[in-house]
Amino acid sequence: MYPAQFDYRRAGSVTEALSLLQENEDAKLMAGGHSLIPMMKLRLAQPPVVIDIGRLDELKGISEAGGSVRVGSLTTHADIAASDVLAAHCPVLAEAAGHIGDAQVRNRGTIGGNIAHADPGSDIPPVLVLLGASVHLQSPSGTRSVAAGDFFQDLLMTDVGEDEILTHVEAPALGAGTGAAYLKFEHPASGYAVVGAAASVTVQNGRCTGAGLVVGGVSATPTAVDVSSLVGTDLSDDAIAAAASGLDAEDPIGDIFASGDYRVHVGKVYGKRALAAARDRA
Amino acid sequence: MTVSIQLEVNGKPVQAAVEPRRLLVHFLREDLGLTGANIGCETSLCGACTVLVDGNAVKSCTMLAAQADGASVTTIEGLARNGELHPLQEGFWEKHGLQCGYCTPGMILSANYLLAQNPSPNDEEIREGLKGNICRCTGYHNIVEAVKYAAERMS
Protein backbone atom coordinates (compact mmCIF):
# COMPACT_ATOMS: atom_id res chain seq x y z
CA MET A 1 0.00 0.00 0.00
CA TYR A 2 1.58 3.22 -1.17
CA PRO A 3 0.59 6.80 -0.50
CA ALA A 4 -0.21 8.88 -3.55
CA GLN A 5 2.76 10.82 -4.91
CA PHE A 6 3.83 13.90 -3.03
CA ASP A 7 6.76 16.25 -2.79
CA TYR A 8 8.88 15.99 0.34
CA ARG A 9 10.41 18.93 2.16
CA ARG A 10 12.39 18.69 5.35
CA ALA A 11 12.33 21.67 7.66
CA GLY A 12 15.46 22.60 9.59
CA SER A 13 13.69 24.94 11.99
CA VAL A 14 10.20 25.97 13.06
CA THR A 15 10.67 29.20 11.11
CA GLU A 16 11.54 27.27 7.96
CA ALA A 17 8.58 24.93 8.47
CA LEU A 18 6.27 27.93 8.78
CA SER A 19 7.50 29.45 5.53
CA LEU A 20 7.25 26.08 3.75
CA LEU A 21 3.64 25.92 4.97
CA GLN A 22 2.98 29.34 3.49
CA GLU A 23 4.65 28.52 0.18
CA ASN A 24 2.88 25.21 -0.37
CA GLU A 25 -0.88 25.19 -0.47
CA ASP A 26 -2.53 22.15 1.16
CA ALA A 27 0.82 20.92 2.50
CA LYS A 28 0.73 18.67 5.56
CA LEU A 29 3.19 18.62 8.43
CA MET A 30 4.60 15.21 9.35
CA ALA A 31 6.01 14.53 12.81
CA GLY A 32 6.32 10.78 13.45
CA GLY A 33 3.92 10.01 10.63
CA HIS A 34 1.90 7.50 12.63
CA SER A 35 -1.42 9.18 11.96
CA LEU A 36 -0.60 10.77 8.60
CA ILE A 37 1.10 7.86 6.80
CA PRO A 38 -1.81 5.45 7.44
CA MET A 39 -4.23 8.15 6.23
CA MET A 40 -2.11 8.67 3.12
CA LYS A 41 -1.85 4.94 2.41
CA LEU A 42 -5.64 4.70 2.50
CA ARG A 43 -5.78 7.83 0.29
CA LEU A 44 -7.91 9.53 2.93
CA ALA A 45 -5.22 12.20 2.80
CA GLN A 46 -3.41 13.12 -0.41
CA PRO A 47 -1.31 16.17 0.40
CA PRO A 48 0.68 17.45 -2.60
CA VAL A 49 3.54 18.34 -0.25
CA VAL A 50 4.66 16.80 3.03
CA ILE A 51 6.81 18.93 5.30
CA ASP A 52 8.86 16.68 7.56
CA ILE A 53 9.31 18.39 10.93
CA GLY A 54 10.44 15.18 12.65
CA ARG A 55 13.98 16.41 13.24
CA LEU A 56 13.19 19.70 14.97
CA ASP A 57 14.86 19.20 18.36
CA GLU A 58 13.44 22.53 19.52
CA LEU A 59 10.02 20.83 19.62
CA LYS A 60 11.16 17.84 21.68
CA GLY A 61 11.42 17.37 25.41
CA ILE A 62 9.63 17.46 28.74
CA SER A 63 10.20 19.97 31.52
CA GLU A 64 8.59 21.31 34.68
CA ALA A 65 8.62 24.87 35.94
CA GLY A 66 6.41 27.03 38.12
CA GLY A 67 3.88 24.31 38.83
CA SER A 68 3.25 23.23 35.27
CA VAL A 69 4.70 20.64 32.91
CA ARG A 70 5.59 21.38 29.32
CA VAL A 71 5.79 18.70 26.65
CA GLY A 72 7.19 19.53 23.21
CA SER A 73 4.97 18.49 20.34
CA LEU A 74 7.56 16.13 18.84
CA THR A 75 8.06 14.20 22.06
CA THR A 76 7.30 10.53 21.43
CA HIS A 77 4.76 8.55 23.41
CA ALA A 78 7.63 6.30 24.54
CA ASP A 79 9.49 9.26 26.03
CA ILE A 80 6.33 10.58 27.70
CA ALA A 81 5.52 7.16 29.17
CA ALA A 82 9.06 6.83 30.56
CA SER A 83 9.47 10.44 31.76
CA ASP A 84 10.74 10.94 35.31
CA VAL A 85 9.50 14.54 35.24
CA LEU A 86 5.96 13.41 34.44
CA ALA A 87 6.15 10.54 36.92
CA ALA A 88 6.82 13.15 39.60
CA HIS A 89 4.49 15.94 38.47
CA CYS A 90 1.82 14.60 36.14
CA PRO A 91 1.83 10.80 36.12
CA VAL A 92 -1.59 10.46 34.48
CA LEU A 93 -0.22 11.84 31.19
CA ALA A 94 2.58 9.26 31.22
CA GLU A 95 0.05 6.56 32.09
CA ALA A 96 -2.12 7.43 29.10
CA ALA A 97 0.87 7.59 26.72
CA GLY A 98 1.91 4.12 27.88
CA HIS A 99 -1.49 2.79 26.79
CA ILE A 100 -1.10 3.98 23.20
CA GLY A 101 -0.80 1.25 20.55
CA ASP A 102 2.28 -0.82 21.19
CA ALA A 103 6.02 -0.32 21.72
CA GLN A 104 6.77 0.28 18.04
CA VAL A 105 3.97 2.83 17.66
CA ARG A 106 5.03 4.63 20.85
CA ASN A 107 8.59 4.86 19.51
CA ARG A 108 7.49 6.89 16.48
CA GLY A 109 4.19 8.53 17.39
CA THR A 110 4.32 12.00 18.95
CA ILE A 111 1.97 13.91 21.23
CA GLY A 112 1.68 16.77 18.75
CA GLY A 113 0.83 14.52 15.83
CA ASN A 114 -1.59 12.59 17.99
CA ILE A 115 -3.65 15.56 19.12
CA ALA A 116 -3.46 17.37 15.77
CA HIS A 117 -4.97 14.23 14.21
CA ALA A 118 -7.73 14.23 16.87
CA ASP A 119 -8.94 10.67 16.54
CA PRO A 120 -11.86 10.12 18.94
CA GLY A 121 -10.28 6.82 20.03
CA SER A 122 -7.01 8.49 20.99
CA ASP A 123 -5.80 8.24 24.59
CA ILE A 124 -4.20 11.66 25.06
CA PRO A 125 -7.08 14.09 24.35
CA PRO A 126 -9.33 13.21 27.33
CA VAL A 127 -6.35 13.49 29.67
CA LEU A 128 -5.40 16.95 28.36
CA VAL A 129 -8.99 18.14 28.72
CA LEU A 130 -9.16 16.71 32.25
CA LEU A 131 -5.95 18.47 33.24
CA GLY A 132 -7.06 21.81 31.83
CA ALA A 133 -3.98 21.75 29.61
CA SER A 134 -3.22 24.42 27.02
CA VAL A 135 -2.12 23.73 23.45
CA HIS A 136 0.45 26.18 22.06
CA LEU A 137 0.55 27.16 18.41
CA GLN A 138 2.95 29.23 16.34
CA SER A 139 2.30 31.01 13.06
CA PRO A 140 4.22 33.64 11.08
CA SER A 141 2.23 36.29 12.95
CA GLY A 142 3.08 35.04 16.43
CA THR A 143 2.10 32.53 19.06
CA ARG A 144 -1.13 31.74 20.83
CA SER A 145 -2.49 29.12 23.18
CA VAL A 146 -5.86 27.45 23.31
CA ALA A 147 -7.47 25.44 26.10
CA ALA A 148 -7.51 21.70 25.37
CA GLY A 149 -11.28 21.75 25.87
CA ASP A 150 -11.62 24.17 22.94
CA PHE A 151 -8.86 22.65 20.83
CA PHE A 152 -10.78 19.51 19.85
CA GLN A 153 -13.60 20.72 17.62
CA ASP A 154 -15.01 17.65 15.89
CA LEU A 155 -14.05 14.28 14.44
CA LEU A 156 -10.45 14.74 13.19
CA MET A 157 -10.88 18.52 13.46
CA THR A 158 -8.95 20.87 15.70
CA ASP A 159 -8.29 24.55 16.18
CA VAL A 160 -4.93 24.41 14.36
CA GLY A 161 -4.95 26.98 11.57
CA GLU A 162 -3.56 26.34 8.10
CA ASP A 163 -0.50 28.49 8.77
CA GLU A 164 0.16 27.19 12.30
CA ILE A 165 2.45 24.64 13.92
CA LEU A 166 1.66 23.00 17.23
CA THR A 167 4.75 23.61 19.34
CA HIS A 168 3.97 22.23 22.80
CA VAL A 169 1.36 21.51 25.42
CA GLU A 170 1.37 22.73 28.99
CA ALA A 171 -0.52 21.20 31.87
CA PRO A 172 -0.73 22.11 35.55
CA ALA A 173 1.27 19.73 37.74
CA LEU A 174 -0.91 17.62 40.02
CA GLY A 175 -0.80 19.05 43.53
CA ALA A 176 -0.59 17.28 46.88
CA GLY A 177 -3.76 15.38 47.71
CA THR A 178 -4.70 14.98 44.06
CA GLY A 179 -4.86 11.60 42.40
CA ALA A 180 -5.57 10.93 38.75
CA ALA A 181 -6.00 7.88 36.56
CA TYR A 182 -6.60 6.93 32.93
CA LEU A 183 -8.37 3.65 32.20
CA LYS A 184 -9.01 2.29 28.77
CA PHE A 185 -11.28 -0.26 27.18
CA GLU A 186 -9.10 -1.10 24.23
CA HIS A 187 -10.14 -2.29 20.80
CA PRO A 188 -8.39 -5.66 20.64
CA ALA A 189 -7.20 -5.24 17.04
CA SER A 190 -6.49 -1.56 16.51
CA GLY A 191 -5.21 -0.67 19.98
CA TYR A 192 -7.30 2.49 19.95
CA ALA A 193 -9.60 3.16 22.88
CA VAL A 194 -13.20 2.11 22.36
CA VAL A 195 -13.67 4.14 25.51
CA GLY A 196 -11.02 5.84 27.65
CA ALA A 197 -11.75 7.53 30.96
CA ALA A 198 -9.52 10.14 32.61
CA ALA A 199 -10.38 11.10 36.18
CA SER A 200 -8.91 13.15 38.99
CA VAL A 201 -9.93 13.82 42.57
CA THR A 202 -8.47 16.03 45.27
CA VAL A 203 -8.87 15.00 48.90
CA GLN A 204 -8.27 17.10 52.00
CA ASN A 205 -8.88 15.76 55.49
CA GLY A 206 -10.80 12.80 54.12
CA ARG A 207 -13.20 14.94 52.09
CA CYS A 208 -13.26 15.52 48.36
CA THR A 209 -12.53 19.14 47.44
CA GLY A 210 -12.42 18.74 43.67
CA ALA A 211 -13.10 16.11 41.02
CA GLY A 212 -13.05 15.78 37.26
CA LEU A 213 -13.95 13.14 34.70
CA VAL A 214 -13.47 13.25 30.92
CA VAL A 215 -14.36 10.33 28.68
CA GLY A 216 -12.96 9.70 25.21
CA GLY A 217 -14.35 7.46 22.48
CA VAL A 218 -18.00 8.22 23.18
CA SER A 219 -18.32 11.35 21.09
CA ALA A 220 -16.31 12.96 18.32
CA THR A 221 -14.46 14.99 20.97
CA PRO A 222 -13.67 14.28 24.63
CA THR A 223 -16.81 14.38 26.80
CA ALA A 224 -16.55 16.10 30.18
CA VAL A 225 -18.82 14.72 32.90
CA ASP A 226 -20.12 16.95 35.68
CA VAL A 227 -18.92 15.18 38.82
CA SER A 228 -19.21 18.17 41.15
CA SER A 229 -21.62 16.10 43.28
CA LEU A 230 -18.51 14.40 44.67
CA VAL A 231 -17.24 17.57 46.33
CA GLY A 232 -17.79 17.36 50.08
CA THR A 233 -18.32 13.59 50.06
CA ASP A 234 -15.94 10.92 51.34
CA LEU A 235 -15.79 9.49 47.80
CA SER A 236 -17.68 6.33 48.63
CA ASP A 237 -18.14 3.79 45.85
CA ASP A 238 -21.82 4.71 45.71
CA ALA A 239 -21.12 8.42 45.36
CA ILE A 240 -18.58 7.72 42.62
CA ALA A 241 -20.95 5.41 40.72
CA ALA A 242 -23.71 8.03 40.90
CA ALA A 243 -21.37 10.75 39.63
CA ALA A 244 -20.02 8.66 36.74
CA SER A 245 -23.53 7.73 35.65
CA GLY A 246 -23.97 11.39 34.69
CA LEU A 247 -22.08 10.71 31.43
CA ASP A 248 -24.29 11.90 28.64
CA ALA A 249 -23.52 12.21 24.95
CA GLU A 250 -25.93 13.96 22.64
CA ASP A 251 -24.70 12.21 19.53
CA PRO A 252 -22.56 9.21 20.54
CA ILE A 253 -20.41 7.65 17.84
CA GLY A 254 -21.10 4.05 16.87
CA ASP A 255 -19.39 1.64 14.54
CA ILE A 256 -19.38 -2.06 13.68
CA PHE A 257 -17.53 -2.82 16.92
CA ALA A 258 -19.48 -0.75 19.43
CA SER A 259 -22.79 1.08 19.15
CA GLY A 260 -23.26 4.54 20.58
CA ASP A 261 -25.42 3.28 23.47
CA TYR A 262 -22.86 0.64 24.31
CA ARG A 263 -20.05 3.21 24.34
CA VAL A 264 -22.01 5.41 26.74
CA HIS A 265 -22.62 2.42 29.00
CA VAL A 266 -18.95 1.38 28.97
CA GLY A 267 -17.99 5.03 29.50
CA LYS A 268 -19.98 5.10 32.75
CA VAL A 269 -18.36 1.87 33.94
CA TYR A 270 -14.84 3.03 33.08
CA GLY A 271 -15.57 6.49 34.46
CA LYS A 272 -16.52 4.91 37.77
CA ARG A 273 -13.39 2.78 37.82
CA ALA A 274 -11.15 5.71 36.86
CA LEU A 275 -12.61 7.87 39.65
CA ALA A 276 -12.09 5.06 42.15
CA ALA A 277 -8.49 4.59 40.97
CA ALA A 278 -7.90 8.35 41.25
CA ARG A 279 -9.34 8.33 44.79
CA ASP A 280 -7.01 5.49 45.77
CA ARG A 281 -4.03 7.50 44.53
CA ALA A 282 -5.03 10.81 46.10
CA MET B 1 10.95 14.12 -7.30
CA THR B 2 13.48 11.95 -5.51
CA VAL B 3 15.10 12.37 -2.11
CA SER B 4 18.75 11.53 -1.56
CA ILE B 5 19.28 9.46 1.55
CA GLN B 6 22.33 8.13 3.32
CA LEU B 7 21.97 5.61 6.06
CA GLU B 8 23.56 2.61 7.65
CA VAL B 9 21.85 -0.76 7.23
CA ASN B 10 23.17 -3.68 9.24
CA GLY B 11 26.42 -1.81 9.74
CA LYS B 12 27.01 -1.01 6.07
CA PRO B 13 26.68 2.46 4.56
CA VAL B 14 23.92 2.81 1.98
CA GLN B 15 23.25 5.69 -0.38
CA ALA B 16 20.16 5.97 -2.54
CA ALA B 17 17.71 8.28 -4.26
CA VAL B 18 14.13 7.36 -3.38
CA GLU B 19 10.68 8.57 -4.23
CA PRO B 20 9.23 10.48 -1.26
CA ARG B 21 6.45 7.92 -0.92
CA ARG B 22 8.88 4.99 -0.77
CA LEU B 23 8.17 3.21 2.51
CA LEU B 24 11.13 1.97 4.50
CA VAL B 25 9.95 -1.65 4.25
CA HIS B 26 9.83 -1.48 0.45
CA PHE B 27 13.23 0.20 0.35
CA LEU B 28 14.72 -2.58 2.46
CA ARG B 29 13.05 -5.42 0.58
CA GLU B 30 13.06 -4.24 -3.01
CA ASP B 31 16.00 -1.87 -3.26
CA LEU B 32 18.38 -3.60 -0.86
CA GLY B 33 17.10 -7.17 -1.22
CA LEU B 34 16.68 -7.54 2.55
CA THR B 35 13.47 -9.55 2.51
CA GLY B 36 13.55 -10.50 6.19
CA ALA B 37 11.23 -7.63 7.12
CA ASN B 38 7.88 -8.98 5.98
CA ILE B 39 4.87 -7.09 4.75
CA GLY B 40 1.80 -8.25 6.63
CA CYS B 41 -1.12 -5.96 7.39
CA GLU B 42 0.41 -2.73 6.01
CA THR B 43 -1.61 -0.82 8.62
CA SER B 44 0.88 -0.64 11.56
CA LEU B 45 -0.87 -3.43 13.43
CA CYS B 46 0.80 -6.81 12.81
CA GLY B 47 4.47 -6.00 13.40
CA ALA B 48 5.83 -8.35 10.69
CA CYS B 49 7.80 -5.41 9.24
CA THR B 50 9.46 -4.44 12.54
CA VAL B 51 13.07 -3.31 12.27
CA LEU B 52 15.34 -1.30 14.56
CA VAL B 53 15.92 2.34 13.67
CA ASP B 54 18.65 3.87 15.86
CA GLY B 55 18.01 1.03 18.28
CA ASN B 56 14.26 1.57 18.53
CA ALA B 57 11.78 -1.03 17.27
CA VAL B 58 9.59 0.57 14.59
CA LYS B 59 7.12 -0.63 12.01
CA SER B 60 8.86 -0.06 8.69
CA CYS B 61 5.54 -0.04 6.80
CA THR B 62 4.70 3.22 8.59
CA MET B 63 7.91 5.10 7.98
CA LEU B 64 9.15 6.77 4.83
CA ALA B 65 12.58 5.78 3.62
CA ALA B 66 13.23 9.54 3.55
CA GLN B 67 12.57 9.68 7.29
CA ALA B 68 15.35 7.13 7.82
CA ASP B 69 17.97 9.42 6.23
CA GLY B 70 20.97 9.46 8.56
CA ALA B 71 19.70 6.61 10.70
CA SER B 72 21.17 3.26 11.57
CA VAL B 73 18.80 0.43 10.62
CA THR B 74 19.02 -3.17 11.77
CA THR B 75 17.04 -5.94 10.12
CA ILE B 76 16.91 -9.64 10.94
CA GLU B 77 19.72 -10.16 8.42
CA GLY B 78 21.99 -8.08 10.66
CA LEU B 79 21.64 -10.07 13.88
CA ALA B 80 23.82 -13.15 13.32
CA ARG B 81 27.55 -12.60 13.88
CA ASN B 82 30.17 -14.54 11.89
CA GLY B 83 27.71 -17.29 11.07
CA GLU B 84 26.61 -17.63 14.72
CA LEU B 85 22.93 -17.15 15.40
CA HIS B 86 21.91 -14.37 17.77
CA PRO B 87 20.67 -15.79 21.12
CA LEU B 88 17.13 -14.76 20.15
CA GLN B 89 17.36 -16.65 16.85
CA GLU B 90 18.72 -19.62 18.74
CA GLY B 91 15.92 -19.32 21.31
CA PHE B 92 13.19 -19.35 18.67
CA TRP B 93 14.80 -22.46 17.20
CA GLU B 94 15.35 -24.29 20.49
CA LYS B 95 11.94 -23.46 21.98
CA HIS B 96 9.89 -23.87 18.80
CA GLY B 97 8.95 -20.21 18.89
CA LEU B 98 7.76 -20.33 15.29
CA GLN B 99 5.68 -22.42 12.97
CA CYS B 100 5.20 -20.70 9.62
CA GLY B 101 7.87 -18.13 10.45
CA TYR B 102 6.20 -15.13 8.85
CA CYS B 103 6.05 -13.06 12.04
CA THR B 104 9.43 -14.27 13.32
CA PRO B 105 11.79 -11.53 12.04
CA GLY B 106 9.52 -8.87 13.51
CA MET B 107 9.07 -10.82 16.74
CA ILE B 108 12.83 -11.19 17.14
CA LEU B 109 13.55 -7.51 16.55
CA SER B 110 10.81 -6.44 18.97
CA ALA B 111 12.18 -8.90 21.51
CA ASN B 112 15.67 -7.52 20.88
CA TYR B 113 14.38 -4.01 21.66
CA LEU B 114 12.57 -5.30 24.75
CA LEU B 115 15.71 -7.00 26.10
CA ALA B 116 17.73 -3.84 25.50
CA GLN B 117 15.26 -1.96 27.72
CA ASN B 118 14.67 -4.75 30.20
CA PRO B 119 17.29 -7.53 30.20
CA SER B 120 15.30 -9.92 32.41
CA PRO B 121 11.59 -9.47 31.71
CA ASN B 122 8.93 -11.68 33.29
CA ASP B 123 6.25 -13.40 31.20
CA GLU B 124 3.84 -10.49 31.49
CA GLU B 125 6.48 -7.96 30.45
CA ILE B 126 7.43 -10.11 27.45
CA ARG B 127 3.81 -10.33 26.34
CA GLU B 128 3.37 -6.57 26.77
CA GLY B 129 6.64 -5.92 24.93
CA LEU B 130 5.51 -8.09 22.01
CA LYS B 131 1.99 -6.68 21.92
CA GLY B 132 2.67 -5.03 18.58
CA ASN B 133 3.57 -8.32 16.91
CA ILE B 134 0.87 -10.75 15.89
CA CYS B 135 1.45 -14.50 15.44
CA ARG B 136 -1.35 -16.63 14.03
CA CYS B 137 0.34 -20.02 14.57
CA THR B 138 1.99 -20.50 17.91
CA GLY B 139 -0.40 -19.16 20.51
CA TYR B 140 2.59 -17.13 21.78
CA HIS B 141 3.54 -19.54 24.60
CA ASN B 142 6.72 -20.76 22.95
CA ILE B 143 7.60 -17.26 21.79
CA VAL B 144 7.65 -16.17 25.43
CA GLU B 145 9.81 -19.21 26.23
CA ALA B 146 12.17 -18.30 23.38
CA VAL B 147 12.61 -14.75 24.68
CA LYS B 148 13.27 -16.06 28.19
CA TYR B 149 15.85 -18.47 26.77
CA ALA B 150 17.59 -15.58 25.01
CA ALA B 151 17.42 -13.35 28.08
CA GLU B 152 19.25 -16.01 30.09
CA ARG B 153 21.85 -16.52 27.40
CA MET B 154 22.46 -12.80 27.08
CA SER B 155 22.75 -12.06 30.82
Walk along chain A (282 residues) and give the pLDDT tens digit of each residue. Answer: 899 999 999 999 999 999 999 999 999 999 999 999 999 999 999 999 999 999 999 999 999 999 999 999 999 999 999 999 999 999 999 999 999 999 999 999 999 999 999 999 999 999 999 999 999 999 999 999 999 999 999 999 999 999 999 999 999 999 999 999 999 999 988 899 999 999 999 999 999 999 999 999 999 999 999 999 999 999 999 999 999 999 998 889 999 999 999 999 999 999 999 999 999 999
Query: Does residue B149 belong to the interface with chain A, where contact is any CB pair within 8 Å?
Result: no
| Phi, psi (deg, nearest 5) at residue A154 | -170, -175
Is the domain of A73 the same as that of A165? Answer: yes
Minimal CA–CA distance to A248: which of A215, A282, A206, A201? A215
Could you tell me if B48 and B35 are in contact, meaning their C-beta atoms sit under 8 angstroms apart? no
d(CA A104, CA A216) in angstroms, rounded, equals: 23
d(CA A14, CA A23) in angstroms, rounded, equals: 14
Could you tell me if A199 and A193 are in contact, meaning their C-beta atoms sit under 8 angstroms apart? no
Split at pLDDT 50, 70, 90, the class of B138 is very high
In a domain, A2, yes or no: no
Number of neighbours of residue B8 by Cβ within 10 angstroms:
16
Residue A1: its pLDDT value, please? 85
Is the domain of A168 the same as that of A184? Answer: no
Say which CATH number the domain at A267 has: 3.30.390.50
Residues of A in contact with B108 (CB under 8 A): none
d(CA A141, CA A159) in angstroms, rounded, equals: 16
User: Are B57 and A5 in contact (CB < 8 Å)?
Assistant: no
Q: Among partner residues A104, A189, A190, which is closest to B50 by beta-carbon distance?
A: A104
Question: Which residues face B73 on adjacent strands?
Answer: B9, B53
Query: Does residue A10 belong to the interface with chain B, where contact is any CB pair within 8 Å?
Result: yes
Query: Which of A126, A147, A172 lies at the terminal end of a domain, its last residue?
Result: A172
Say which CATH number the domain at A120 has: 3.30.465.10
Query: Does residue A6 belong to the interface with chain B, where contact is any CB pair within 8 Å?
Result: yes
Query: Which of A172, A191, A218 lies at the terminal end of a domain, its last residue?
Result: A172
> Domains plus CATH for chain B?
3-78 (3.10.20.30), 87-154 (1.10.150.120)
B15-40 residues labelled b (16+ CB within 10 A) or e (exposed): ebebbbbbbbbbbbbeebebebbbbb
For helices A124-131 and A91-98, give the axis angle rounded to 10 degrees. Answer: 170
Q: Residues with Cβ < 8 Å from A75, sequence gap 6 or more?
A: A59, A60, A61, A62, A110, A111, A112
Residues of B in contact with A189 (CB under 8 A): 45
Say which CATH number the domain at A28 has: 3.30.43.10
In a domain, A1, yes or no: no
Minimal CA–CA distance to B150: which of B103, B93, B90, B80? B90
A73-103 residues labelled b (16+ CB within 10 A) or e (exposed): bbbbbbbbbbbebbeebbbbbbbbbbbbbbb
- The pTM of this model reads 0.97
Q: Among partner residues A6, A40, A108, which is closest to B63 by beta-carbon distance?
A: A108
| Phi, psi (deg, nearest 5) at residue B124 | -65, -40
Residue A22, domain extent: 7-52
Is the domain of A165 the same as that of A67? Answer: yes
CA distance readout (Å), A264 to A6, A258, A271:
40, 10, 10
Assign 3-state DSSP to chain B and report helix, strand, coil percentages, each to 5: 40, 20, 40
Is the domain of A166 the same as that of A93? Answer: yes
**DSSP code per residue over B25-51:** HHIIIIIS--TTS---SSSSSS-TTEE
Residue A250: its pLDDT value, please? 84
Q: Are strands A49-52 and A7-10 parallel, antiparallel or unpaired?
A: parallel
Is the domain of A67 the same as that of A167? Answer: yes
Taking only the tens place, the pLDDT of each residue in B68-109 is 999 999 999 999 999 999 999 999 999 999 999 999 999 999
Residues of B in contact with A103 (CB under 8 A): 57, 110, 113-114, 129, 131-132
Is the domain of A48 the same as that of A65? Answer: no
Name residue B122's amino acid.
N
The yes/no answer to whether this complex scores an ipTM above 0.95 is yes
Residue B147: its pLDDT value, please? 98
User: Are B63 and A191 in contact (CB < 8 Å)?
Assistant: no
Coil, helix or strand for A33? coil
Is the domain of A211 the same as that of A247? Answer: yes
Query: Which of A144, A172, A200 lies at the terminal end of a domain, its last residue?
Result: A172
DSSP state of A228: G
d(CA A134, CA B74) in angstroms, rounded, equals: 39
Is the domain of A66 the same as that of A156? Answer: yes
Could you tell me if B109 and B58 are in contact, meaning their C-beta atoms sit under 8 angstroms apart? no
d(CA B146, CA A140) in angstroms, rounded, equals: 54
Residues of A in contact with B132 (CB under 8 A): 101-105
Is the domain of A103 the same as that of A137? Answer: yes
Domains in chain A, number: 3
Taking only the tens place, the pLDDT of each residue in B29-62 is 999 999 999 999 999 999 999 999 999 999 999 9
Residue A189: its pLDDT value, please? 87
